[in-house]
Amino acid sequence: MTSETLDQLFEYHQAKGASATILTAQADDPNGYGRILRDHVGIVDKIVEQKDATPEEARVKEINTGTYCFDNELLFETLEKLTTDNAQGEYYLTDIIEILKENEQIVAAYQTDDFEESIGVNDRMALAQANEIMRKRINQQHMRNGVSFIDPKTTYIDEGVKIGAETLIEPGVALKGKTTIGENCAITQNSQITDSVIEDQVTVKSSTIEKSVVHSQADVGPYAHLRPQAEVNQKVHIGNFVEIKNAVIGEKTKVGHLTYVGDATLGKEINVGCGTVFVNYDGKNKHHTTVGDYSFIGSGVNLVGPVNIASNSCLAAGSTITDDVYENDMAIARARQVNKEGYAKRLPFLQ
């Protein structure tokens, strides 16, 4: 139900000077709803529940939405007069209407034009229907504001999420919690973003982002995972199968693929090679690693925190770094290769 309808109901209630006002709607299929019965001049007489309705009453299509405005004092007085003398042996709040009428109180009915606002949720099918209605309303409002949807029916956006104009949302996307998406972004299929800020001109490709910030002109994914407290700065590239957690990635740094960056601060314009792991956990405590600007990290490097890598340094591929590396230095931390001539012929797979 919209706030506009509630405002209109309250205004109508006051204008009529009513003791009770019922919000009603016209239903093509009123099955399951209480029926609004009116007298010969159209004034509300009472509400009859489905199981208590006669065949003639059951044909009435004006239904009770279950939303009311009451005079509080009269409501509490009337509640004491309710009985369980009905088909279900229950106390019906709807019986209050008939009791008020018998006491010559004014009862009004305000009919909404949108039956969807009256839908009750009594089972999982009805819950799914209500969710579909809310999803449609939310997505339509974003489209009015200039956001493009490939398939709104398969896009799930929480109430309160903000999306800038000219942003594209593809099928299967879920935007949850207090998420903000900037202008001219592209959020591709099956991305999930929760409680995060995505600035302008960002591309998120089929990735998961939680409680993180992605600054303008960065791109994330496909299949990346930004866990809480990740901050991705301007023009950063986060590639496929990269996980970032509690880490800051500086401007124009590239973390291309198959990498874990946790508890770390990376400067700007760093290259992080494939298969790099920031080793941050010793089994009890987390340790922080810092990498300075313009550094190069080769493929398959392990950085065992806490460790500091100065600017303009180079870590050779396959190294396990346990000590600090100073500016302009190259660190090589791997065993020297030894070739044993002819030895392969002695191995089982060649026998």
Q: So which residues are the catalytic ones?
A: 257
Residue 323 CA, chain-centre distance (Å), reads 42
What's the distance, CA 325 to chain centroid? 42
State in Å, rounded, how far the first CA of the chain is from the last one: 77
Q: In the 8-state DSSP scheme, what is residue 70? A: E
12 burial level (CB within 10 Å; 0-12, 13-18, 19+): middle
Alpha-carbon distances of 348 from 147, 276, 337, 338, rounded to whole Å: 62, 32, 22, 20
CA distances from 287 to 47, 155, 303, 304 (A): 67, 39, 11, 8
Report in angstroms the alpha-carbon separations of 323 from 180, 298, 315, 326: 40, 16, 12, 10
Q: What are phi and psi of 139, to 5 degrees?
A: -65, -40
Q: CB within 8 A of 56, min separation 6: which ones? A: none
- Alpha-carbon distance 279 to 322, whole Å? 10
Element (H, E) at 62: strand 62-70
